Structure 1
């Protein structure tokens, strides 16, 4: 029911040309082949649980726990998919998904799409910009033109911030 209401309202707004709603629908489309079912009502803590699962993967990598790496990675990917299904406009989730995919399969077209979605949904959030540069700045040549433009905008945002002080 909620997904149907959201969809009907969003289509009306989308027809009026609001870019934020376009980004949300683009986010939904970017992983539509991997998301479980239709858009569901968000539950409290879903985003936090997904991000904690990503931290668990990263901690496992640092500690060399290869025995649980696949299981931890699977749980984190599932948690991110579920969180993105209910909150597709969360740039931190897109960035975390890009990082996990890059860890598992290297930087590819899908990683570039996830980085782009992080940019579209959180362009002016400097903490996400910092992490995009930190995690994908060195792999910039492997990213799409849109993702490279995003990283350039992130760097320019930091330059403006530093110049304003």
Structure 2
């Protein structure tokens, strides 16, 4: 009898475990599937792969379900925010559903940051979003400061953040403009030359004097590599970019093509 009772007890425990496993799978597996699908789209977007609205249509129910969930789901919430960013960018490009998409992005980013506030990328996204919806303000600059404070050395964020900040460099408060210059110097110091060059010949070209002055504490070897590489692709850091040089040469050629003109007093002579 004791042996039979033990056997029945063991069977009961196994049955309970089996039921628990089934219940866990029923509730957890769909969430894991949802997260996998959302993460796949998020990863493509963060790698700057073009993703159209049509390609994201199937994720609509997942996005809505995630936003309706009151509990924190940090990984899913972050993926939702990134996907909402791409949908908002697509809306801006097409001019359709802009207000609705911006509102959905704002809600998604705030939900994600509410659960995981140490995300420097989403603070940057929120800064971009609020500037579009409300214009530049002191409160918005605090969002950019949060991004710098929480993610000073994450290379892929640095490139996106620097490009955005350099595009509005003249409007930045002094502490943030100093952050931009220091961030550029870190790119050169850590030998991320491709990223530094793209920024310098792009949105940073108008501010190259300040960016180059910020390299004073960077090893000279790194600065020399940057300077030589810029020269190799046609950018003279002391003078003109290729586009500026072409404009200058065009104007010079126009002047050379003009017929010589005699001064008025000379033409009046017999």
Matches within 5 A, 1:81-96: 81-96=110-125
Q: Is the Cα contact below 8 Å between 1:84 and 1:90 reproduced in 2?
A: yes
Matches within 5 A, 1:9-158: 41-65=72-96, 68-158=97-187
Give the Cα separation in 1 of the matches to 2:74 and 2:151.
21
Q: CA RMSD in A?
A: 1.8
Q: Is the Cα contact below 8 Å between 2:127 and 2:140 reproduced in 1?
A: yes
Deviation at 1:111, TM superposition (A): 2.2
CA deviations 1:89-127 (Å, max 9, x no partner) are 100100000111111122221221111111111000111
Deviating more after overlay: 73-82 vs 146-155: 146-155
Deviating more after overlay: 155-164 vs 95-104: 155-164
Give the Cα separation in 2 of the matches to 1:107 and 1:132.
16
* Runs ≥4 residues deviating over 4 A: none
CA deviations 1:14-34 (Å, max 9, x no partner) are xxxxxxxxxxxxxxxxxxxxx
Tell me the matched-pair count: 124
Give the Cα separation in 1 of the matches to 2:169 and 2:123.
17
Larger relative contact order (Cα-Cα within 8 Å, sequence gap ≥ 6): 1
Give the Cα separation in 1 of the matches to 2:187 and 2:74.
34
SS of the residue corresponding to residue 75 of structure 2 reads coil
5+ long unaligned stretches in structure 1:
1-39
Q: 1:130 to 1:77 in 2, by over 3 A?
A: same
- Greater CA radius of gyration, 1 or 2? 2
* TM-score, normalised with respect to structure 2: 0.43
Deviation at 1:50, TM superposition (A): 0.6
CA deviations 1:113-161 (Å, max 9, x no partner) are 1111111110001111111111121212222233222211211112222
SS of the residue corresponding to residue 47 of structure 1 reads helix
